[in-house]
Amino acid sequence: MSISPLIGPGRGRQPPRGRRGRLLAAIAAALALAALAALAAAFGLFDTGQRGSRVSASGRASASAARASTSAAGRARAAAGPDAASATSPGSATAPGSATAPGSATVPASPPDRSPTGLALATPPLALTGIGAPERDPLQIRFHHPARAGLLFNLDTGLVLWQRNPLLRLRIASLTKMMTALIVVRSASPHARVLVTKQAVEAAGSKVGVLPRGRHVALQSMLYGLLLPSGNDAATALAQSVAGSVGAFVARMNREAARLGMGCTRFSSPSGYFDEGNFSCPADLAVLAHVDLQQPRLAAIVRHPSAVLPFPIKGGKLYLYNNNPLLIYRYPGLTGLKTGYTNASGRCLVATAERHGVRLGVVLLHSSAPGSQARQLLDLGFERVYHQAPVAEAPIPPDA
């Protein structure tokens, strides 16, 4: 027996055969349609007039509003410029003190009153004039491969001459040692001595490299080892000597950052070798550079391209060399200050210089050529803003 795929066995009836059957089927279908129409009219299932118009108008209004909103958002992004185009785009700006991670672009509606570690922020000792308004910078400079963030500023007045994402939180590698050195000179006598511990000798990354474990070394020599070759071993030994432990020293670093009003900044080590939880921004580092150079002991160290120091090792002398590219190539008037590098931070530089009584500083974070870019910025600052005559300079390699 043949079974219809739509009707199970034993269910339904076969339609009548022949002309009479077809006529009866047509009448049944017509009666069914009439009954359906009557029910629809009674219960309002089909409203072919205003209701359809209202739905259509509502849909058109929603679509129009969505298009207008999208268009307005696009105009806002265009007006904000390329650095505000995306919350995840490199180089986008983060205001100090917000709870976002380094490199993110969330900017709070008002300046923060707490540091990233939750401490109350004091007023910075250097007020940066014009920060956050790059269209007003005296120098309008575009690099072919710009740093992710940077700042050119007057070290004495705080006038911003050029900026790129000055509030963007980024990893800062050994620029961290600028704060380490500040706390050390404020806490210990230049005649103090520092115990070289096992933890210091085993520190990873860049090192002085010849620290004698278990011996006491002149603190001043350790400061040179911290700031010239950027010794992570020196950073660990100094931290332990001043605060008793690395953890206690890091807590002091974060308290000092808050006291200086550094709302972008959080430290997680005295060396900066470990990137996790260790970040800052150009604006904060400008303040830190200003304060560091107010310390005569630090200002005297960071301007030296090299040093030969008495040291308790074979031969009795320690030879140290500064890795600041502007010092290496003897940039005229250079007064400091510090370099940094890790895979996450890229190449970083804080450089300061003085000519004819004008003191300028430059901060570059994650730059492909910090030395040559810093030189260009400093030259243009002295020449175009302060109208000084160009100075003869030794060439600096373009990727320095």
The catalytic residue positions are 174, 177, 230
Burial bucket for residue 295 (CB in 10 Å: 0-12, 13-18, 19+): middle
> Does residue 118 contact residue 88 with C-beta atoms inside 8 Å?
no
Pull the structure tokens for residue 351. 């450089």
Work out whether the CA dihedral 299, 300, 301, 303 comes out positive or negative.
Answer: positive
Measure Cα distances from 245 to 206, 250, 259, 378 in Å.
20, 9, 21, 39
Closest CA to 185 of 291, 99, 101, 265: 291
155 burial via Cβ count (<10 Å: 0-12, 13-18, 19+):
buried
Closest CA to 299 of 153, 185, 136: 185
Tell how strand 149-154 and strand 358-367 pair up: antiparallel
